[in-house]
Amino acid sequence: MNECNLHFSSSPAQDTGSYRLLELPPELAKVLESSGDEATQSWSIKGESIEDAVLCTADKTYTVRSVILSNAVLVVTPSQSGDAAPDAVIRDQLHEIYELIPSVPRLQKLGSLLRGNEYNEGQEDEDVDMSDNDRPTKRQRLTYHNAREVLQASDAELLQGLQTRRILIIKDELRPIAPAYLTQILELLLTYLVSLSLSHQAAPVQTLTSSLEEEHEIKREVCTQVMEWFGQIEDGIWRLDELAAVKEVGLGVLRAYKDDTITEAEFLKKWESAVGDTFESSVSLDLLSGNYLTTQNLLTDPPTIELNYFPSSALPTDPAARFGDLFLTRQRWKAEEISPFLQDIVVNNKERDKLLLKYARTVTNKDGIWYTARAMYNG
């Protein structure tokens, strides 16, 4: 057994509090062991003083959580002694370690950071916004570089989040595109694919962007980014993601019914008309899961199913607040009804089931299993 001379640091004031122990999950430990220091080049700790810290790799986000230890852990380093029995110096005593828990990226601040920066037809380049008292104020810009610094998300998750939230990057500035304008661009793209007899699996980007710019004054950089959101561009050829495009057009139709309802049959008819004959076979309510509520109108003969727009993206990201809103909207939910409204706040189905167990209780009757609130939520 190796022996060493153990003694305390000669500079305790400098060493105490200078060390932290971080327990890596297996997947990160494996990366670090196989790649050495290069693996940590894209790892960073993010979070303002009022936020819980997270660790971000190139493509994942982890919550940093403190765990109190029942026994102290000594931080010991070798000294520079040349004796046969080398010295070891006790630098610090730690009573906690930090562990990493997989987390969804925390992008909820984007809404407030980008308020007043919407990119819409006819006002794309305006540099002013209207304040609450109807006075023009200079628009506050958010660049992609700034977003990387202030948002708790990996680079890959940030880019995916911008795409999911339909946020353009124009000259490094982030601009959320107006939903109605996005729907208009998509409908035009689908229309031109048919009218120009282009394959939606191999359409020339130049042809489509030129047509929309010349005939509808839609900028090429905007059109190109929209095409990347709803397909893949490689070597100047666009391969359409048909289901994604049809879904977005369906959302555009559905948004008009936030405060009103529309029968399922009438909505599907409007949706099919918006995408055109070529793409109507892809229309399916399953594509819009987590964006609408259904009610049965018993006053009609026969009874009809009615829809209204209810997007999960507009609900709070905090689980307790999310369940509060859901149970204020409906007192009880079936599993297949509530699950789509939880997918964006969990990393997997196991975590979703834990949230259901924590915030909801199950009730079984002749109609099956229902979820009701564990707590009472008052409007």
**In this predicted model, what pLDDT tens digit does every residue of 138-149 receive, in sequence order?**
668 999 999 999
- Decide if 295 is inside a domain: yes
Whether 207 is in a domain gets the answer no
9/66 same-domain check: yes
pLDDT of residue 77: 81
**286 found inside a domain:** yes
pLDDT tens digits, residue range 79-130? 765 555 567 878 878 888 899 999 999 999 998 999 999 999 876 555 555 5
Do 82 and 166 belong to one domain? Answer: no
**111 and 44 in a common domain:** no
pLDDT in tens, 17-41: 677 888 889 988 888 877 665 555 6
Distance from C-alpha of 212 to C-alpha of 321, rounded to nearest angstrom:
43
Predicted confidence at residue 126, as pLDDT, reads 57
Is there a domain that residue 75 lies in? yes
Domain check: are 115 and 75 in the same one? no
Which domain covers residue 46, as residue numbers? 5-103
- Residue scoring higher pLDDT (368 or 15): 368
pLDDT in tens, 194-239: 999 999 999 999 999 999 999 999 999 999 999 999 999 999 999 9
Same domain as 116, residue 70? no
Report d(CA 63, CA 54) in Å as an integer: 4
CA distance 91 to 77: 7
Residue 315 placed within a domain? yes
Rounded Cα gap, residues 223 and 221, in angstroms: 6
The mean pLDDT value for 3-12 works out to 70
- CB neighbour burial string for 22-56, b if at least 16 within 10 angstroms, e if fewer: eeeeeebeebeeeeeeebeeeeeebbeeeeebbbb
Contact 228, 247 (CB under 8 A): no
Q: Could you give the percent of the chain with pLDDT greater than 70?
A: 88
Cβ atoms < 10 Å from Cβ of 335 = 14
Give me the CATH number covering residue 28: 2.40.128
Q: Residue 379: its pLDDT value, please? A: 46
| Mean pLDDT over each residue of the chain, to the nearest integer | 88
Our measurement of the distance from residue 139's CA atom to the centroid of its chain's CA atoms, rounded to an integer in Å, reads: 25
On whether both 154 and 168 belong to a single domain, the answer is: yes
How many Cβ atoms are within 10 Å of 359's Cβ, its own excluded?
Answer: 19
Residue-wise pLDDT for 295-354, tens only, equals 988 888 788 999 999 999 999 999 999 999 999 999 999 999 999 999 999 989 999 999
pLDDT for 270:
97
One domain, residues 284 and 357: yes
Sign of dihedral through CA atoms 282, 283, 288, 294? negative
pLDDT average, residue stretch 70-78 = 83
Give the chain's domain count.
3
131 pLDDT higher than 90: no
Q: Is residue 149 part of a domain?
A: yes
Say yes or no: 97 and 112 in one domain: no
Instruction: Output the pTM of the full model.
Output: 0.81
Query: Is the residue at 199 inside a domain?
Result: no
Query: What are the pLDDT digits (tens) for 249-293?
Result: 999 999 999 999 999 999 999 999 999 999 999 999 999 999 999
